[in-house]
């Protein structure tokens, strides 16, 4: 799960470079716009895209990580890369909370940041790199290309203390899940589409053993239970062990609408998957997405766009971090 760090920042090089800020203090805040860096760093989006492509060739699971990052960062108050900040003596990192269990590959996001910094030091935010890597990771997984705006700036503090107030858990009721997303402006079909991200990647046994032990959840498809028990043989799995079940055994590396067919067949791994397929508010959209990948992609693109624009810091708010894991004042 862990990989060796690939680089170290040469701190002196940053202080030696004169940086033209993307937004000067006396300029009007343009907010989020398409191709925000066209004048200050015209190669920025191409660099991110190429880095995502290269990383995907070497480490396929990075694309899953970029997709999860946009949810875990942008759903918690603001799309400001607070997720990427390391813990300090006074504050816990969002990465180390229970809600972030299983998130990984952050060091590779640092690779992307370093590549952008070589071209345009101090110009492109970690928040925009997080969003753009998600956009390009979705394409790597066979999903749609989603044009996303840029111009976000980075927050200076972790939001670990409020994370549970914003991020719905996989054991929450579907009503709570719908309410949490509605507060960001994402409607019911948008929620159903976003959960289609469960089409790719895997779920650690820690997150699903309560459906297998001490008794098997009768809602689960018996044919699927055998596979789940084989993959998760322990009622109390080791969180550090490589014990997991693929979310979609048919096309585990492809973002597609197979997820919806699976959950209608009671093969969803998580409680929220089961609820999504059975609640009267969400089931009609599940059935529609199971029949039409075009409809799934359309709603998924719309929901990701709304999520990526959730309460961003723009203009002169926040900062452009030199290193994604550390706020500048601590760098």
Binding residues for heme b: 198
Cα dist. 93→84, 88, 120, 128, 261 in Å?
A: 8, 8, 27, 19, 37
Alpha-helical regions (H) of the chain: 11-15, 44-58, 62-74, 106-119, 126-140, 163-166, 174-182, 188-194, 222-231, 258-264, 271-278, 283-291, 293-308
Cα dist. 246→181, 259, 273 in Å?
A: 25, 11, 14
Please give, one letter per residue, the 3-state secondary structure of 122-166: CCCCHHHHHHHHHHHHHHHCCCCCCCCCECCEECCCCCHHHHHHH
Contact 144, 301 (CB under 8 A): yes
Annotated binding site for substrate: 168
The residues annotated with a catalytic role in the active site are 72
Contact 102, 169 (CB under 8 A): no
Annotated binding site: 73, 76, 80, 82, 94, 168, 198, 248, 251, 256
Annotated binding site for Ca(2+): 73, 76, 80, 82, 94, 248, 251, 256
Rg of the chain in Å (alpha carbons): 20
Phi and psi at 245, nearest 5°, equal -125, 135
């Amino acid at each position: 799960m862990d990989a060796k760090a690939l680089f170290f920042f040469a701190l002196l090089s940053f202080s030696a470079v004169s940086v033209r800020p993307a937004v000067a203090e006396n300029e009007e805040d343009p907010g989020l716009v398409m191709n925000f860096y066209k004048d200050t760093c015209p190669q920025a989006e191409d660099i991110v895209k190429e880095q995502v492509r290269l990383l995907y060739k070497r480490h396929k699971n990075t694309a899953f990580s970029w997709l999860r990052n946009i949810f875990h960062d942008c759903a918690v108050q603001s799309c400001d890369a607070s997720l990427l900040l390391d813990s300090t003596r006074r504050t816990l990192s969002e990465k180390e909370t229970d809600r972030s269990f299983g998130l990984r590959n952050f060091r590779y996001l640092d690779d992307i940041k370093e590549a952008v910094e070589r071209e345009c030091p101090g110009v492109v935010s970690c928040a925009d790199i997080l969003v753009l890597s998600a956009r390009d990771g979705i394409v790597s997984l066979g999903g749609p290309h989603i044009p996303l705006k840029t111009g976000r700036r980075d927050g200076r503090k972790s939001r670990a203390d409020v994370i549970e107030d914003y991020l719905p858990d996989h054991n929450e009721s579907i009503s709570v899940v719908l309410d949490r997303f509605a507060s960001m402006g994402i409607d019911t079909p948008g929620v159903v589409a976003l959960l289609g991200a469960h089409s790719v990647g895997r779920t650690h046994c820690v997150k699903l053993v309560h459906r297998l032990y001490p008794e098997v959840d009768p809602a689960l498809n018996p044919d699927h239970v055998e596979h789940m028990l084989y993959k998760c043989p322990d009622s109390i799995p080791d969180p550090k062990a490589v014990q997991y079940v693929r979310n979609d055994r048919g096309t585990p590396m492809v973002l597609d609408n197979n997820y919806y067919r699976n959950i209608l067949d009671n093969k969803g791994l998580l409680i929220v998957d089961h609820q999504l397929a059975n609640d009267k508010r969400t089931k009609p959209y599940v059935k529609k997405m199971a029949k039409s990948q075009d409809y799934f992609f359309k709603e998924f693109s719309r929901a990701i766009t709304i999520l990526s624009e959730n309460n961003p810091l723009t203009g002169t708010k926040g900062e452009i971090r030199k290193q994604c894991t550390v706020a500048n004042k601590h760098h």
